Amino acid sequence: MTSKFKTIFFIIIVTILTSSFILKNNLIDSYTIDELRTIYSSGDASKWPAPNLHEDIAEGYIEIEKLPKIKHPKTNPYSRAKAELGKHLFFDPRLSASKQVSCASCHEPQLGWADGKRVAHGDLQQTGKRNTPTLINIGYAKSLFWDGRAKSLEEQAHGPIENPVEMNTKMETAVKNITDIKGYAPLFIDAYGNNEVTEERINKALATYQRTIKSTRSKFDLFIDGIENEYSDEEVLGLHLFRTKAKCVNCHNSPYFSDQKFHNLGLTYYGRFYEDLGLYNQTGKKEDVGKFKTPTLREVAKTGPWMHNGLIMDLDGIMNMYNVGMARPKRKNYEINDTLFPQTSYLLEPLKLSKKEKEAVEAFIKTLSSRTAGIEIFLELPKN
Ligand code: HEC
Ligand code: HEC
């Protein structure tokens, strides 16, 4: 009995030792996982292994790193009073026609500043065509909306206020509604010196407030800043794959995890019910059909469903789609000579990631969320 026990014990020990030896020497691009952990958490991104970039992307590539300080434009400098006014306006449904819909109805702080819906539901529950993007870190965005049709937050605000399926009003009506609320006067005086309510003042205050909506430090930020135990082995592997074999950094790069460019992922639904021509609607150029702005991946785990049309319900699904090189719709006979037929980006091709590798990339993108479990905004809106 004892000798049988000894043999079993011996076999268990040998199995543990050999498997840990195999695991330790399971090299990824000639690195062990411990070496990758040390390099990536060294605090010096110039020591990281080279990213796997297409030659068109290599020039001007900006590494994924921690977020720099936000810049407020000279034409609309930061002031606390202006941000405070903007915050009240952001949460105030009285900017809308029905006085029922505020910016926060769709950009809900507790839902990652998005709305958790496939597409937005606005005034009188009318549905829009596109998924609501998060506003976290929006101060870093160079253009706004999925098709980049607004160039600044100041310019952007009238969009949702006037959009018939969002707040469904006219800027003049919004200005009048706010002027009529006496409780706003002190906020305008603090921000601008007098109580005059104008469209420009509303837009500037909303923009200033939105530039204050930022992620706190995520697991990723802590890990690359030197806290080496912040990541599991799987997350270390995921970070490395994100920059190398999975090629995600070709588009999701810079501290904002977006190249701020437009790409076609094959989701145009050309000629079908969900058709959305994206950037083409702005530029009229045939090569822009079906291109959408690369979204930030910071906080992305909180902002599903995903993509411009909100048709993707889970991150596994996204990984499976990237792994096969995304969708490449085929032309039907009658589309052979159609010059608008959308072209999926040449930057996407099958990745040959194993199941374990796909899971690692997914585990990594989940580390881009900051820890705040739920943000609650306490605010009393000004009275009439
Ligand atoms: C009915 C829901 C809804 C309301 C209300 C709403 N938004 Fe949005 N928001 C959206 C949708 C949907 C988009 C994407 C539209 C597109 O790309 O065509 C968007 C896009 C944005 C963007 C661009 C984000 C990016 O990544 O490019 C900003 C900024 C923004 N909204 C701010 C606001 C502000 C400020 C208000 C209030 C004045 C507001 N939104 C009200 C649904 C809404
Ligand atoms: C060719 C550029 C490109 C590459 C490479 C790329 N992405 Fe994207 N990604 C985009 C664009 C553009 C969108 C939005 C497309 C749309 O809605 O039609 C997007 C959307 C996403 C979304 C949904 C975000 C949201 O808010 O809806 C996730 C998650 C994502 N990508 C992860 C990845 C991962 C992981 C990789 C690597 C396997 C990767 N991407 C590679 C350009 C790219």
Q: What is the pLDDT along the chain (384 residues), one digit of tens a residue?
A: 567 777 776 676 666 655 555 555 578 899 999 999 999 999 999 999 999 999 999 998 999 999 999 999 999 999 999 999 999 999 999 999 889 999 999 999 989 999 999 999 988 888 889 999 999 999 999 999 999 999 999 999 889 999 988 898 999 999 999 999 999 999 999 999 999 999 999 999 999 999 999 999 999 999 999 999 999 999 999 999 999 999 999 999 999 999 999 999 999 999 999 999 999 999 999 999 999 999 999 999 999 999 999 999 999 999 999 999 999 999 999 999 999 999 999 999 999 999 999 999 999 999 999 876 556 788 899 998
**Ligand 2, residues at Cβ distance < 6 Å:** 246-248, 250-252, 263, 265, 267, 292, 294-295, 297, 300, 303, 306-308, 318, 322, 345, 347-348, 361, 365
Instruction: With residue 293 as reference, give the H or E element that holds it.
Output: strand 292-293
**Peptide bond before 51: cis, by omega within 30 degrees of 0?**
no
Domain topology for 40-67+217-366: Cytochrome Bc1 Complex; Chain D, domain 2 (1.10.760)
What's the half-sphere exposure (Cβ side, CA atoms, 13 Å) at 291? 24
From the CB of 317, is ligand 1 less than 6 Å away?
Answer: no
**Which ligand 2 atom sits closest to the C-alpha of 262?**
12
> Ligand 1 center to residue 163 CA distance, Å?
10
* CA nearest neighbour of 153 among 108, 188, 194, 202: 202
What pTM, to 2 d.p., does this model score?
Answer: 0.93
- CB-based contact 296:254 (threshold 8 Å): no
CA distance 308 to 290: 10
Question: Do 40-67+217-366 and 80-210 come out as alike in CATH topology?
Answer: yes
Going by CATH, does the domain composed of 80-210 fall within 1.10.760.10?
yes
* Distance between Cα 160 and ligand 1 center (Å): 6
Does any ligand 1 atom lie closer than 6 A to the CB of residue 208? no
Closest ligand to the CA of 119: 1
Structural domain spans, the chain: 40-67+217-366, 80-210
Q: Is 235 left (phi over 0), alpha (psi -120 to 50) or beta?
A: alpha
